[in-house]
């Protein structure tokens, strides 16, 4: 019995030697061909006659041969993979973006390593280090700080880095993003045009550029409506989560009715869903007592108990475009960096209406 704290690998039981891995030489001997022919089947199959290729593949199956990807990488100098370092794996926005990346990578026969920084700089840097060591074809990243010098350092050492959902001010990288100032303005203007004269902006640390820009847009809409900025109540939160949305509902419900906003722009759908959920719990009617606008238009937005009005981000397109830019930078000697910015759109549903 293993002592507590000792770890035994599957093949390391006493009395049983770890099975020797099958080599290219073993495959060649079994198939009755040269080692070079086996190497061609692995790396340049179009150069091998179909019958010979079938013999080699049969030998690989019979022996349980598994190609040594790290050896291939060493020879080729690059892995056949790209990586996406997302900010928050608990947020469907990022998994939708990752799906777009995978759709494009798959067409280029590239694997995708999905990493989650969890909005933790030390974790993000550890991933950048490890991915550089793995010699991936390129790194797509939604960075905590788009001006982080490590991004430029990795790119300068030959690994293409594409910013996703953030723009690159110094054009040292390709980037794809959505105009978040316009998105915030769209959301707030929708409420103001419905007749709401006191609105809230809910959620997100100001350290996130996406949040800062959406708030800037909401402020711009209030100014354009000729209202003083004190008609916009800002409720910041440490994270963009459902729990923070629920907490914001408690704060809003605690305000005297005369000071309580009748509409809320949320920094993203996760916060909006939490706000909606807690309003229902507290007996605040949505939209009659509080109209709510989310941001991202993730699939859960339309499926909410009161379908959410939300600012739609083209998540799949963000991922596909970012992957296209990365593959071009990794393969095209004449590549030129591009900053692609998409325009968000407002999807109106049942969570917003004129104030009661």
Query: Among residues 59 and 314, whose Cβ is nearest to ligand RIB?
Result: 314
User: Is the Cβ–Cβ distance between 309 and 352 less than 8 Å?
Assistant: yes
Measured from each CB, the residue nearest to ligand RIB is 268
Query: Among residues 136 and 144, whose Cβ is nearest to ligand RIB?
Result: 144
Cα 24–Cα 26–Cα 32 angle in degrees, nearest 5: 100
Q: Does 240 bind ligand RIB (CB under 6 A)?
A: yes
Residues 6+ apart with CB under 8 A from 195: 354, 355
Q: Does 210 bind ligand RIB (CB under 6 A)?
A: yes
**Nearest-approach distance from CB 208 to ligand RIB, in angstroms:** 6
Q: Does 321 bind ligand RIB (CB under 6 A)?
A: no
Distance CA 96, CA 314 (A): 9
**Nearest-approach distance from CB 349 to ligand RIB, in angstroms:** 17
Distance CA 182, CA 168 (A): 18
Q: Does 213 bind ligand RIB (CB under 6 A)?
A: no
User: Is the Cβ–Cβ distance between 280 and 251 less than 8 Å?
Assistant: no
Residue from 182, 268, 309, 352 that binds ligand RIB (CB under 6 A)? Answer: 268
Distance CA 300, CA 304 (A): 6
Unique residue bearing structure tokens 């004190």: 230
**Nearest-approach distance from CB 91 to ligand RIB, in angstroms:** 5
**Nearest-approach distance from CB 87 to ligand RIB, in angstroms:** 5
Around 163, how many Cα atoms within 13 Å sit in the side-chain half-sphere?
27
Q: Does 295 bind ligand RIB (CB under 6 A)?
A: yes
**Nearest-approach distance from CB 348 to ligand RIB, in angstroms:** 18
What residues numbered 60-119 form the site for ligand RIB, per CB under 6 A? 87-88, 91, 93
**Nearest-approach distance from CB 205 to ligand RIB, in angstroms:** 10
Q: Does 244 bind ligand RIB (CB under 6 A)?
A: no
Q: Quote the tokens at residue 98.
A: 């990752």
Query: Among residues 38 and 325, whose Cβ is nearest to ligand RIB?
Result: 325
Q: Quote the tokens at residue 176.
A: 């794809």
Query: Among residues 110 and 221, whose Cβ is nearest to ligand RIB?
Result: 221
Query: Among residues 56 and 164, whose Cβ is nearest to ligand RIB?
Result: 164
- Other beta carbons within 10 angstroms of residue 280's beta carbon come to 14
**Nearest-approach distance from CB 110 to ligand RIB, in angstroms:** 24
Determine if residue 20 is left, alpha or beta; phi over 0 gives left, psi from -120 to 50 gives alpha, anything else beta.
beta
Q: To the nearest 10°, the Cα dihedral for 40, 44, 46, 48?
A: -10
Query: Among residues 102 and 165, whose Cβ is nearest to ligand RIB?
Result: 165
User: Is the Cβ–Cβ distance between 86 and 98 less than 8 Å?
Assistant: yes
What residues numbered 142-181 form the site for ligand RIB, per CB under 6 A? 165
Query: Among residues 65 and 84, whose Cβ is nearest to ligand RIB?
Result: 84
Q: Quote the tokens at residue 66.
A: 């598994």
Q: Does 296 bind ligand RIB (CB under 6 A)?
A: yes
**Nearest-approach distance from CB 239 to ligand RIB, in angstroms:** 9
Query: Among residues 198 and 312, whose Cβ is nearest to ligand RIB?
Result: 312
**Nearest-approach distance from CB 198 to ligand RIB, in angstroms:** 25
Distance CA 322, CA 317 (A): 8
3-state secondary structure string across 238-274 = CCCCHHHHHHHHHHHHCCCCCCCCCEEEECCHHHHHH
Query: Among residues 84 and 93, whose Cβ is nearest to ligand RIB?
Result: 93
- Other beta carbons within 10 angstroms of residue 30's beta carbon come to 18
Q: Which residues bind ligand RIB (CB under 6 A)?
A: 87-88, 91, 93, 165, 208, 210, 240, 268, 295-296
């Amino acid at each position: 019995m293993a002592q507590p704290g000792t770890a035994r690998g599957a093949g390391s039981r006493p009395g049983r030697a770890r099975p020797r891995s099958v080599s290219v030489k073993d495959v060649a001997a079994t198939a009755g061909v040269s080692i070079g022919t086996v190497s061609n089947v692995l790396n340049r199959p179009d150069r091998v006659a179909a019958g010979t290729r079938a013999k080699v593949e049969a030998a690989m199956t019979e022996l349980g041969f598994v190609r040594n990807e790290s050896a291939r990488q060493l020879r080729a100098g690059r892995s056949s993979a790209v990586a996406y370092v997302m900010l928050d794996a608990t947020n469907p926005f990022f998994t939708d973006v990752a799906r777009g990346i995978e759709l494009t990578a798959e067409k280029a026969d590239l694997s995708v390593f999905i990493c989650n920084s969890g909005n933790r700089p030390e974790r993000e840097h550890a991933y950048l280090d490890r991915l550089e060591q793995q010699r991936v074809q390129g790194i797509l990243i939604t960075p905590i700080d788009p001006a982080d010098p490590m991004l430029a350092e990795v790119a300068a050492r030959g690994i293409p880095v594409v910013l996703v959902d953030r723009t690159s001010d110094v054009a040292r990288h390709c980037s794809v993003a959505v105009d978040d100032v316009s998105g915030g303005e769209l959301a707030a203007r929708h409420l103001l045009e419905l007749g709401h004269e006191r609105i809230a902006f809910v959620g997100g640390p100001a350290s996130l550029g996406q949040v800062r820009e959406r708030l800037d847009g909401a402020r711009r809409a209030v100014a354009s409506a000729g209202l003083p900025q004190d008609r916009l109540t800002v409720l910041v939160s440490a994270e963009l989560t459902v729990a923070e949305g629920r907490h914001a509902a408690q704060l809003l419900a605690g305000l005297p009715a005369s000071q309580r906003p009748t509409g809320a722009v949320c920094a993203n759908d996760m916060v909006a869903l939490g706000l909606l959920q807690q309003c229902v719990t507290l007996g605040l009617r949505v939209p009659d007592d509080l109209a709510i606008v989310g941001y991202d238009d993730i699939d859960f937005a339309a499926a909410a108990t009161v379908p959410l009005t939300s600012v739609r981000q083209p998540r799949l397109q963000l991922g596909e475009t970012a992957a296209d830019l990365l593959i071009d930078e990794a393969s095209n000697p004449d590549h030129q960096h591009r900053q692609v910015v998409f325009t968000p759109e407002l999807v109106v549903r049942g969570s917003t209406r004129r104030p009661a």
